[in-house]
Amino acid sequence: MKNETKSDRLSFAQLGVLAGIIMEFLAVMFNAPQLKYWLEHKTELKKRLREVFKIVDEYVDIRIEWATFYKKNFDWEVDFSHVIIPTMPTIGKWRLLFIPKGMRPQLAFEVCTKLFKTSKYCDNLDDAIGKNIRTTGEHYAVWVRDEVEPDSETLGKSTRQADPDMKVGITLLEGIIFEIKYFTETGKHLNIKGVTFCSGSRISGGNVPSVSWSDGKFEVYWNDLDNSVSYYGIRSAV
């Protein structure tokens, strides 16, 4: 996959000029009823704009791959063709995850139990998790650090030190989905030596959930925000 360079990116000034041209064009072309229609049919509008501007989607194969993944493992029919892809960071190795509308940690964990041994600290993960930095009100895509272990630069740091505002790390749901995807691709597991704080999520009591492969099973546990161990860290997500 080609990394984006500075010269490839549009500046805010360039985007402003382009947006102005498009707004001027739309003001001439659309009357009030037409504008109302397109505001209520945003997905169709995005599709039409892609056709008009002949936008080439470099992620089309990955979108299809993830749709196939959810059909095979969850029996869900999903269409990720119009999901906006965040800009991939230029430093480090990254993987694109697609998370479908309505997906829940408990449901994802139940799929894990069909594939390998598991353990979790509570009966229902949906009830336990009180906050997520990204939610599944709609489909979304997120880049996550594509390494077996947590980010090396965060090892030994507590969640409060590494990601106190929930802006850096993966959510619990993303951690579980990544585990399933990695296993179905390789037959292996993530977090073999280390434990990943899912710092994009918080348990209702304020603690942070974690994922790991421990004692021959996939484990979801909880940790205090100040808990620090040399092989514990976060996994960055963008």
What was the pLDDT predicted at 201? Answer: 98
pLDDT digit string, tens, across residues 109-135:
999 999 999 999 999 999 999 999 999
47 and 73 belong to one structural domain? no
Q: Give yes or no: residues 118 and 201 share one domain.
A: yes
Residue 40 belongs to some domain of the structure: yes
Whole-Å CA distances, 203 to 75, 109, 199, 207: 28, 16, 10, 5
Query: Quick count: other Cβ atoms within 10 Å of Cβ 113?
Result: 13
* Same-domain pairing of 142 and 49: no
In a shared domain, residues 160 and 214? yes
Q: Indicate the pLDDT class of residue 12, thresholds 50, 70 and 90.
A: low
Q: Are residues 102 and 206 in the same domain?
A: yes
Higher pLDDT, 55 or 168: 168
Q: Answer yes or no: is pLDDT of 48 > 70.
A: yes
- Looking at the predicted structure, is the pLDDT value of residue 198 above 90? yes
152 and 72 in a single domain? The answer is: yes
- Domain match, 49 and 154 both: no
Q: Which of 135, 129, 158 is nearest to 229 (CA)?
A: 158
Residue at 71 is within a domain: yes
Structural domain boundaries, residue 42 = 11-53
| Residue 157 to residues 34, 89, 127, 172, Cα–Cα distance (Å) | 54, 22, 27, 18
Span 124-179, pLDDT tens digits? 999 999 999 999 999 999 999 999 999 999 999 999 999 999 999 999 999 999 99
Same domain, yes or no: 87 and 109: yes
Residues 173, 202 within the same domain: yes
Is the residue at 104 inside a domain? yes
Pairing of strands 140-145, 94-99: antiparallel
Which pLDDT belongs to residue 54?
A: 63
* Tally of domains in the chain: 2
